[in-house]
């Protein structure tokens, strides 16, 4: 390689292009509205951070696309997911900057933006699809908005991404391959079910013991709830019920993946399960952060628009609130808490399994 030209700050960052990319519509039609510059810049900063999030997710995605994943790659995955979480922190706090614009200042230029809308953020949709929220995963009313407001090339680009398995799918495949519960000499789930029975019988005893305190009607009610909990546990071990819940879109992961994820959560303290546990936790954090952002964004839209419709033609904050409630990816991981049991009741693992889960310096 020959001598290189000295790198110059503005050239390296292409600031000519970047800083010449803010062109308020209000200026084009007469007099510039002061706050439109803020509106443009905040959106642009979001799009830049979306680009970085996609960059991180794609790298995590390619790791999970491999047939087997080395332990050290898991540390990189955790580090990248942690970075996404930090960026999400910025995305959330940026809404405060946006909210320094008052609804009346917004009204000065809002009509000039119709029909443009956040619906057309291709990168936001790409993040959703990459994680596992494709067109089919939306409630019917959102499907029209999901890709419907996009230009043909943008729609085609996203549909192409949708053809690949989502990260949720790759994660499911990886969870299915977790080996530790398939030990011939030790039926882990039989032992686990014994512990569950101990826990539920204990709960039943406590409820019955409180009859004097609550009265028999209240006691019957509580026993009925306990019966529902029992059934939920049963549904986890009955593949037919589990699959019917998948069909009803109440569960996403296969039974095998679900059970293995539960095993990771239960035995998170075992060294080899520590990074997988960190990954599952980071994914729940990321899901939760997007949900929080969606809620905050819907509150902001309410504050700016009242009950007016959005520039993209949706019902405005009502639509956004519904999207916040429905558009979650890793709900199955949250629901696994239903099946956690106290550490004191965890089945003791035989030495042969324990050895596989351990690593130590000697």
Using CB under 6 A, list all residues that contact ligand HEM.
42-43, 46, 98, 106, 117-119, 121, 124, 145, 297, 300-301, 304-305, 310-314, 316, 319-320, 323
- Structure tokens that stand for 264 in this block: 């990771």
Between 18 and 90, name the residue whose CB sits nearer to ligand HEM. Answer: 90
Between 124 and 295, name the residue whose CB sits nearer to ligand HEM. Answer: 124
How many C-beta atoms surround the C-beta of residue 167 within 10 A? Answer: 21
Between 39 and 253, name the residue whose CB sits nearer to ligand HEM. Answer: 39
Between 259 and 301, name the residue whose CB sits nearer to ligand HEM. Answer: 301
Between 114 and 345, name the residue whose CB sits nearer to ligand HEM. Answer: 114
* Shortest Å distance, C-beta 283 to ligand HEM: 19
* Shortest Å distance, C-beta 351 to ligand HEM: 50
Whether the Cβ atoms of residue 53 and residue 126 lie closer than 8 Å to each other:
no
- Structure tokens that stand for 119 in this block: 């619906």
* Shortest Å distance, C-beta 295 to ligand HEM: 11
Between 121 and 281, name the residue whose CB sits nearer to ligand HEM. Answer: 121
* Shortest Å distance, C-beta 302 to ligand HEM: 9
* Shortest Å distance, C-beta 51 to ligand HEM: 12
* Shortest Å distance, C-beta 352 to ligand HEM: 49
């Amino acid at each position: 390689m020959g001598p290189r030209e000295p790198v110059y700050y503005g050239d390296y960052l292409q600031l000519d292009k970047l800083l010449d990319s803010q062109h308020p519509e209000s200026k084009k039609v007469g007099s510039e509205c002061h706050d439109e510059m803020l509106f443009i810049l905040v959106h642009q900063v979001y799009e830049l951070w979306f680009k970085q999030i996609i960059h991180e997710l794609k790298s995590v995605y390619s790791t999970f696309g491999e047939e087997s994943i080395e332990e050290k790659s898991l540390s990189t995955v955790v580090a990248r997911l942690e970075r996404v979480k930090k960026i999400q922190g910025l995305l959330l706090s940026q809404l405060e900057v946006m909210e320094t614009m008052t609804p009346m200042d917004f009204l000065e230029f809002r009509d000039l933006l119709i029909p443009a809308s956040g619906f057309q953020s291709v990168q936001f949709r790409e993040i959703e699809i990459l994680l596992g929220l494709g067109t089919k995963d939306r409630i019917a009313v959102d499907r029209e908005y999901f890709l419907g407001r996009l230009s043909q090339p943008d729609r085609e680009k996203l549909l192409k991404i949708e053809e690949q398995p989502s990260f949720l799918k790759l994660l499911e495949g990886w969870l299915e391959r977790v080996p530790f519960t398939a030990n011939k000499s030790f039926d882990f789930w039989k032992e686990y079910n014994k512990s569950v029975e101990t826990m539920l019988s204990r709960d039943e005893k406590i409820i019955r013991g409180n009859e004097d305190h609550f009265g028999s009607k209240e006691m019957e009610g509580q026993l009925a709830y306990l019966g529902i909990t029992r059934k939920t546990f049963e549904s986890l071990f009955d593949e037919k019920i589990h699959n019917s819940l998948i069909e009803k879109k109440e569960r996403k992961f296969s039974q095998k993946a679900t059970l293995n994820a539960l095993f990771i959560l239960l035995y998170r303290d075992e060294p080899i399960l520590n990074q997988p546990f960190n990954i599952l936790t980071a994914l729940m954090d990321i899901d939760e952060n997007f949900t929080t952002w969606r809620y905050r964004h819907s509150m902001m839209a309410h504050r700016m628009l009242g009950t007016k419709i959005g520039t993209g033609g949706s019902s405005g904050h009502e639509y956004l609130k519904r999207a916040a409630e429905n558009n979650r990816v890793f709900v199955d991981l949250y629901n696994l808490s239903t099946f956690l049991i106290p550490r004191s009741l965890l089945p003791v693992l035989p030495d042969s399994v324990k050895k596989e889960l351990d690593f130590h310096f000697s």
